[in-house]
Amino acid sequence: MIITLKGTEIDAPTATGTASTVGSARMVRCANAGATARLVTLEESGGTDIGTFTVPANGVQIIWKDTTDKIFAAHADIKLAAVANN
Protein backbone atom coordinates (compact mmCIF):
# COMPACT_ATOMS: atom_id res chain seq x y z
CA MET A 1 0.00 0.00 0.00
CA ILE A 2 1.30 3.45 -0.90
CA ILE A 3 0.56 6.11 1.70
CA THR A 4 0.99 9.86 2.05
CA LEU A 5 2.38 11.19 5.32
CA LYS A 6 0.12 13.76 6.97
CA GLY A 7 2.22 14.52 10.04
CA THR A 8 5.26 13.72 12.14
CA GLU A 9 5.62 10.28 13.71
CA ILE A 10 5.21 10.21 17.49
CA ASP A 11 5.85 7.70 20.26
CA ALA A 12 2.50 6.25 21.26
CA PRO A 13 1.21 7.53 24.59
CA THR A 14 1.03 4.69 27.11
CA ALA A 15 -2.12 5.52 29.10
CA THR A 16 -5.72 6.47 28.46
CA GLY A 17 -5.21 9.89 30.04
CA THR A 18 -2.53 10.80 27.50
CA ALA A 19 -4.08 9.06 24.47
CA SER A 20 -3.69 10.96 21.19
CA THR A 21 -5.93 11.74 18.22
CA VAL A 22 -2.68 11.77 16.18
CA GLY A 23 -3.47 15.19 14.78
CA SER A 24 -7.16 14.33 14.34
CA ALA A 25 -6.15 11.78 11.71
CA ARG A 26 -8.67 9.39 10.16
CA MET A 27 -5.98 6.92 9.10
CA VAL A 28 -3.03 6.08 11.38
CA ARG A 29 0.07 3.98 10.74
CA CYS A 30 1.04 2.02 13.86
CA ALA A 31 4.60 0.71 13.66
CA ASN A 32 6.21 -1.47 16.31
CA ALA A 33 9.91 -0.62 16.58
CA GLY A 34 10.51 -3.35 19.14
CA ALA A 35 11.12 -7.08 19.21
CA THR A 36 8.00 -7.79 21.33
CA ALA A 37 4.36 -7.73 20.18
CA ARG A 38 2.53 -4.73 21.68
CA LEU A 39 -1.14 -4.02 22.42
CA VAL A 40 -2.74 -0.87 20.97
CA THR A 41 -6.04 0.57 22.23
CA LEU A 42 -8.45 2.75 20.28
CA GLU A 43 -10.88 4.76 22.39
CA GLU A 44 -13.61 7.35 21.99
CA SER A 45 -12.85 10.95 22.93
CA GLY A 46 -14.45 10.38 26.35
CA GLY A 47 -12.16 7.46 27.14
CA THR A 48 -14.50 4.52 26.39
CA ASP A 49 -12.57 1.74 24.67
CA ILE A 50 -13.61 0.94 21.10
CA GLY A 51 -11.24 -1.99 20.80
CA THR A 52 -7.71 -3.30 20.94
CA PHE A 53 -5.30 -5.04 18.59
CA THR A 54 -1.74 -6.32 18.73
CA VAL A 55 1.03 -5.10 16.47
CA PRO A 56 3.53 -7.93 16.00
CA ALA A 57 7.23 -7.42 16.71
CA ASN A 58 8.68 -5.10 14.06
CA GLY A 59 5.23 -5.05 12.42
CA VAL A 60 3.03 -2.34 10.96
CA GLN A 61 -0.76 -1.96 11.04
CA ILE A 62 -2.83 0.84 9.53
CA ILE A 63 -6.16 1.68 11.12
CA TRP A 64 -9.12 3.89 10.26
CA LYS A 65 -10.67 5.96 13.04
CA ASP A 66 -12.90 8.98 13.63
CA THR A 67 -11.05 12.28 13.97
CA THR A 68 -11.92 12.50 17.68
CA ASP A 69 -10.96 8.90 18.53
CA LYS A 70 -7.73 8.49 20.50
CA ILE A 71 -4.96 5.89 20.52
CA PHE A 72 -2.56 4.66 23.17
CA ALA A 73 -0.32 1.61 23.42
CA ALA A 74 1.12 -0.70 26.04
CA HIS A 75 4.65 0.54 25.24
CA ALA A 76 6.32 3.49 23.49
CA ASP A 77 7.88 1.01 21.02
CA ILE A 78 4.69 1.77 19.06
CA LYS A 79 5.14 4.73 16.73
CA LEU A 80 2.09 6.55 15.33
CA ALA A 81 1.83 8.66 12.19
CA ALA A 82 -1.12 10.27 10.43
CA VAL A 83 -1.33 8.98 6.86
CA ALA A 84 -3.64 8.96 3.86
CA ASN A 85 -4.27 6.24 1.29
CA ASN A 86 -3.24 7.11 -2.26
pTM (2 d.p.) = 0.95
- pLDDT digits over 46-74, tens only? 999 999 999 999 999 999 999 999 999 99
Q: Is 35 helix (H, G, I), strand (E, B) or coil?
A: coil
Second CATH level (architecture) for the domain 3-85: Sandwich (2.60)
For the cut 90, the answer to whether the pLDDT of residue 86 exceeds it is no
pLDDT score recorded for residue 43: 98
Write down the domain spans for the chain: 3-85
